Structures are given as structure tokens and as C-alpha cells.
Structure 1
Amino acid sequence: MQRAAMRDQIDRRDQREQRARGLRRALVCAAAVPVMLIAAGCSSDSGSGDKASKGGDDGGATTSASKSASASPTVQAAVYKSLPEACKVLSEKTLDDLVPKAKSGKKGSSDDTSTRGSCSWSSLDNNGVKGSQFRWLNVSLLRFESDAARGAGDKLAQEYYRTQAQDARSVTGAKNTKSQPVQGVGDEATAVRYDLKKKEGSFKQETVVARTENVVVTVDYNGAGLAGEKTPDGDKLNKLAQKALKEAVAAVAKANGAGGDAGTPSSAPSKPASKSPSAEPSKDASRSPSPSASKKS
């Protein structure tokens, strides 16, 4: 009986110890779960925060780059990239018609021949006691490059073309001034004619200006009958000046690789991209030099 009672006590004690060990394990596990959850939660928050931060940084950079690109000014590239030599834009035949006694052209001074150039010729046909016929011719070329701050080259050329035409119509002392458009030369052209009295005699002045894309061509041509010679015919001088203008405009197109009748707008070459400093007006020659001055040149 006693041994049976002792076995019962031992069995009950073992059962209590087993239950106690099970309870401790449960408490330990229960305590470990929140720690794991907290750790997992912190890891998740940190990852999402990094991603959000990175996303914010990338998005800001992209937006900034986009704004910078859209803010960059753009301007259409100029068509013509070079100019011909001003003293070679007219044929010998045309020079013989306009300035028959001219020996050679006088090249104007320029620090950048790719943007501006000019050449002048003078002719004095001496007829002895009957007097003499004086002629003076000047061709000037001015090329405008596109500029982000100032605008497209052809627009700048158009502004200068209008200024040239207006200046020709506003010469001090000019009489009988007439102005008319010239058809079939470049994109736009104007002819201005007037009479000008000087100490040497009465001069007939012809100024014809044309714009072809981003280049402005100006031809100044005048003549006078000196020492008893008759005054030259204004209509004839006008036709000769327009002939010279058309040749000069064609020479510009040819120098830039255009073929055909380059005196017309349709013959302009393709428009490659470019950027370089814009041209400034040339002031190499006046419109009406005196015969004595031309002799010295």
C-alpha cells in the first residue's frame, strides 16, 4: 500500500513538472513573437522609407532635367553659311557694261569675310574737250547667323534689308527719289533711284537691295557726265544695277552649293544646323564718291 501511494505521488509530481516546463516554453515563445514582429516591422518601415526617398530623389532629378531641357531656347539654323568673294561676284561682261574703264575692283576691309564683304570699281571715260563719263559701282554682302538671343538669321537679314532700303530713300540732298520693288531676285528686293547734285556735276544714283535667305546684297551704282558731257540715262543705269544685283545674289547661292538660277528664292540650299556669331553691317564704301577720290583708289 505504501509503495503504491509513493508511486502515485511520484507520478503526480512528474506530471506537475512536465506541465510547468510546457508553460515556461509557451511563455518564452509568446515573449519572442512580439520581438520578431517588431523587428520585422522596423525592417519593413526602413525599406519602404528608403524606396520612397530614392523615388523622390529620382523624380526630382527627372523633373529638373525636363524643365531645364524645355527652358533651352531654340532657333532655326541659317541657310547660308558662307559668302563669295565680293570682287568676283560679277562677270567680266557685266563689269564692262557698268564700269567699262575700271581696271580692277577694290576690296573692302573686313575682319570676317565669312559674314561680310564688299568691292568697288570706278570708271572714267575721258572724251577730251567733250568731257568725260564717270561711273562708280559698289557691291556689298552681309550674312546674318542665327542666334538664340537675337533670333533667326533670315529674320535679322530682313530687318537689315528694310533698313538699307529706307536709308537709300532718305539720303540728304537727294532729288526725285523713286522706290519700287524688284521681282525675281532673292526673297525680296527693292530699287531706289534719285538725283544728287555735287560740285563735280549732277549724279544719277541707283541703289538696289535684295535679301536672299539670311544674306543681304546691296548694289550702289551711280554715274555723271562731267566737263560738258551729258548726264547718263537713269533708266539705263537702273537696268544695269539690277543686272548686277541678280548676278551677286546668284553668286551667294552658288558659293553655298545651290544650282540653277540662284537669283530666285526657290534655288536656296537645304538648311543644316549651325551656330556662330551674328554679322554686323559693313561700312566699307559710301554711296556716291567723287571722281577725284576714285582716281586715287
Structure 2
Amino acid sequence: MHRSAKRLASLLACAAVPVMLVAGCSSDDSGKKKDEGGSAAPKSSAPSKSGSASPSVTPAKMKKLPNPCQSVSKDTLKKLVPKTKNEDGEQGKSSDAMARGYCAWKSSDDQGVDGTQYRWLDVGFQRYDSDPTLGSGEKRATDFYKKQVNTAKATQGAKNVKSGAVESLGDEAMWVTYDLKKEDDDFKNQTLIARTANVVVTVNYNGAGLAGADAPDPSDLLKLAKGATQEAVASVAKANQ
């Protein structure tokens, strides 16, 4: 039976914003030591007791990040979020656009008595500089990459969690899929995390059949998410040419 417009609006309002957004999209608290992104913690001005120089680290390879809302092509967006009302995406606020960035798109395809197909896509970037006190940018990015993978696997309420490595995508990449029920509707979630040098790319893509529509095929969603992630990783290299 077709659900009321009020219930459908409620579903769309809460639909599938994944908990795995890129860390640090909002401004850092003043005065706190930063351990992520392009800005390192201030070094003490006090001289070393031993008089030895600070240890050196390999300079970070990637110096810039792409515009997150331009990291996926228009053609790809038409496949992932075909009924989006904003192809330009909704860009997240960042205190340092060269350290982190985020953009999201959503699509709601009302098919009348057959229900509504809902889709959500977001792309996040996190870049790390090298710092003698914190390590190389690549090491810091590797640590964050592992954290993102573990966070996706531990999503609260997730069912049928599966994961696997993705070959030939950045320096390392992993997919994590799971089901998540919200207000009696089943959302199929796909998360792709990829590291290229000192930058971590996180792509979340999910879909659901609302108001009686059939649930989307998770394998189809994962294939589309992989394509979007490949484009996002490529955009990092292009930004640093």
C-alpha cells in the first residue's frame, strides 16, 4: 500500500547519511593540538637539552586537494544519483581546504505507486603533511586509512557486513558493504576507502527502495561506487600535476 507523503518525507529526511564522514570537516577547537590534516602541532621554542637537530621525515608527496564537488564526473553522477536536484553537490565546510574536503549528493526518484528509489553519495578527502613530531605524511595517512576501514566495519546497527581489498586503486583500497534498517526500510550501504600517498579518499554510496519500492542490488551499487572512487583518486593526482 502506498505510504503517505508525510511518512515518505520523514524517510528522506533521515535517509542514509553515513556515520563515516571524513574527520575534521568542521573547524578545530581553538588551542587544541592538531593531529590530522595539513597543519601540525606547534613546536616548542625551548632549546633541546641534547642540542641535537630534529629528526627529518620524507616530504609529503601530495601538496593539494581537488575540489571535492568536482572530483566525480557529471556522467558518473547521472548514474549514481540520477534524480539529484543539485549536480554541483553540497560542499562541506572546512577550516583548511588543502587538508580536508567533503561533498555530498542525494537523489529521490518518485515512481508513483511503485514507490521511490533513494540514493546518497558523498566523497571525502583527508590530506596529511609530514612532520618530525608526528611522522611522514604517508604514515599518518596510512594510520587514518586503517581507522576509516575499521569505522566502516563497526557501523552501529549494520548487518551482513562484508569487506575486501580493491586492486589497482591508489596505493591501497578496501570496500566495506552492509545493510542498515531505518524505519522499516532496508538501506544498502557501500563504503570505499582508498589511500594515494599522503591522501585518503572515502566514498560512501547507499540506496533504498522507499514507500514499497524494491531494494537496489548491492552488487550494482558497489560497482558504481568503485567507479566513483577511481575518479576521486585520479582527481588527487590531477590536482598535484
TM-score, normalization by structure 2: 0.77
1:66-145 equivalences in 2 (<5 Å): 71-104=53-86, 105-145=89-129
Counterpart residue number, 2:147: 163
Percent of matched pairs sharing the same residue: 53
Distance 1:68 1:79 in 2: 31
- What is the CA distance between 1:251 and its match in structure 2? 0.2
RMSD: 1.3
Q: 1:170: how far off?
A: 0.4
- Matches of 1:156 and 1:228 in 2, distance apart? 45
SS in 2 for 1:84: coil
**Equivalent residue for 1:252?**
236
Q: How many pairs align?
A: 191
Q: Give the distance between the partners of 2:166 and 2:52, measured in 1 at CA.
A: 42
Structure 2 stretches of 5 or more lacking a match?
1-48
* CA distance, structure 2, for counterparts of residue 137 and residue 249 of structure 1: 15
- Counterpart residue identity of residue 100, structure 1: P
Q: Which structure 1 residue ranges, 5 or more long, are not aligned?
A: 1-66, 258-297
User: Is contact 2:68-2:102 (8 Å) kept?
Assistant: yes
1:184: Cα distance to partner? 0.6
By how many angstroms is 1:158 displaced? Answer: 0.2
**Counterpart in 1 of 2:219?**
235
Tell me how far apart the structure 2 counterparts of residues 239 and 68 of structure 1 sit (CA, whole Å): 56
| Contact kept? 1:174, 1:196, Cα under 8 Å | yes
Question: How far apart are residue 70 of structure 1 and its match?
Answer: 5.2
In 2, Cα distance between equivalents of 1:201 and 1:137: 18
Letter aligned with residue 127 of structure 1: Q
The reply on whether 1:174 has 2:177 as its aligned counterpart is no
Paired residues for 1:205-220 under 5 Å: 205-220=189-204
Give the deviation of 1:171 after TM superposition: 0.8
Please report how far the alpha carbon of residue 75 of structure 1 lies from its aligned counterpart in structure 2 after TM superposition. 0.8
* Residue 5 (structure 1) aligns with: none
Larger of the two Rg values belongs to structure: 1
Q: Distance in 1 between matches of 2:111 and 2:184?
A: 16
Cα distance change on mapping 1:200 and 1:126 into 2, 3 Å: farther
Contact 2:166 2:173 in 1 (8 A): yes
Q: Is the 8 A contact 1:122 1:136 kept in 2?
A: yes
TM-score (ref. length: structure 1): 0.63
Structure number with greater CO (CA < 8 Å, separation at least 6) is: 2
